[in-house]
């Protein structure tokens, strides 16, 4: 499963997203509500990325067992955050480097789901990448390869939303049955795909926007984003393209 979120808005302490919200990322790591796709808890690592930077803090341990995290998260405020908790797909290693966010330059990326038929189903797509990208993958996982594919498109000049939608479209064609909820930010805007897993969005009255696998609280402003949609958000607007991948 995995759960992820991205926030843009007025700077807030990271603890607001992780610990203070009633169903914040810490709660979602041991008591997620939407278990489609298998798994029961998200205990195979976690990661936080925030701007300016981006600065990334990742770990292979369950989020709630990191004794340094509550103080770090209270003391660190940011107006642009991407965070994730991981439930490793069977057969994939549990290492810090396999936990999102994956980062390069000013980008932060996360994947919730799995590539069906991994790795053979996406061999042809992988072979489009420079060999250097393949031998320097963060980890031997589907998510790390998806990140390399997204990053290659970004480096070639694609917008965030084009990079996400082109990778979802090509991987879905090569590996039918995959679950491909991708989440990408550059600190100014967010692009996310909904493809087989849940995603919700809330535009906060203070001008912030929060995109998360599961709503963090009971605020009536949360909206579930339909499956097969592409979401693009920044501080001025949230656009949802329904049916982008159907």
Q: Which residues bind ligand GLN (CB under 6 A)?
A: 1-2, 39, 86-89, 92, 98, 111-114, 141-143
Catalytic residue (one of 2, 160, 174, 212): 2
Helices vs. strands in the chain: H and E counts, helices first: 7, 13
CB of 242 to ligand GLN, least distance (A): 23
Distance CA 176, CA 90 (A): 18
**Closer to ligand GLN at the Cβ: 15 or 141?**
141
CB of 234 to ligand GLN, least distance (A): 25
**Closer to ligand GLN at the Cβ: 78 or 141?**
141
CB of 105 to ligand GLN, least distance (A): 22
The answer to whether 107 and 154 are in contact (CB under 8 A) is yes
Phi, psi (deg, nearest 5) at residue 238:
-120, 125
**Closer to ligand GLN at the Cβ: 78 or 213?**
213
CB of 1 to ligand GLN, least distance (A): 4
Sheet of 3-13, strand order: 55-59, 46-50, 77-85, 3-13, 209-212, 200-203, 223-224
**Closer to ligand GLN at the Cβ: 93 or 207?**
93
Q: Name the closest residue to ligand GLN (Cβ).
A: 2
The answer to whether 121 and 181 are in contact (CB under 8 A) is no
Distance CA 192, CA 111 (A): 10
Note if 2 is an active site residue.
Answer: yes
Distance CA 156, CA 92 (A): 29
Residues with catalytic roles: 2
């Amino acid at each position: 499963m995995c759960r992820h979120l991205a926030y843009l808005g007025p700077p807030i302490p990271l603890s607001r997203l992780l610990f203070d919200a009633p169903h914040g990322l810490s709660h979602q790591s041991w008591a997620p509500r939407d278990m489609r796709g298998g798994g029961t808890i998200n205990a195979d690592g976690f990661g936080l990325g925030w701007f300016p930077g981006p600065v990334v803090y990742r770990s292979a341990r369950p989020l709630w067992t990191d004794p340094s995290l509550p103080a770090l998260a209270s003391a660190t405020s940011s107006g642009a955050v991407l965070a994730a908790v991981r439930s490793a797909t069977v057969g994939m290693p549990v290492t810090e480097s396999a936990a999102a966010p994956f980062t390069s330059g000013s980008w932060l990326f996360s994947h919730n789901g799995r590539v069906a038929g991994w790795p053979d189903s996406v061999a042809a797509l992988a072979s489009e990448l420079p060999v250097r990208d393949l031998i320097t993958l963060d980890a031997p996982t589907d998510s790390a390869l998806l990140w390399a594919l997204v990053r290659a498109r970004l480096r070639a000049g694609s917008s965030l939303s084009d990079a996400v939608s082109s990778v979802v479209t090509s991987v879905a064609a090569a590996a039918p049955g995959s679950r491909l909820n991708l989440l990408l930010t550059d600190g100014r805007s967010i692009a996310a795909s909904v493809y087989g897993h849940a995603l919700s969005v809330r535009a906060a009255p203070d001008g912030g926007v929060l995109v998360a696998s599961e709503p963090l609280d009971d605020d009536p402003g949360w909206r579930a984003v339909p499956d097969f949609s592409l979401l693009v958000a920044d501080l001025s607007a949230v656009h949802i393209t329904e049916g982008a991948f159907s």
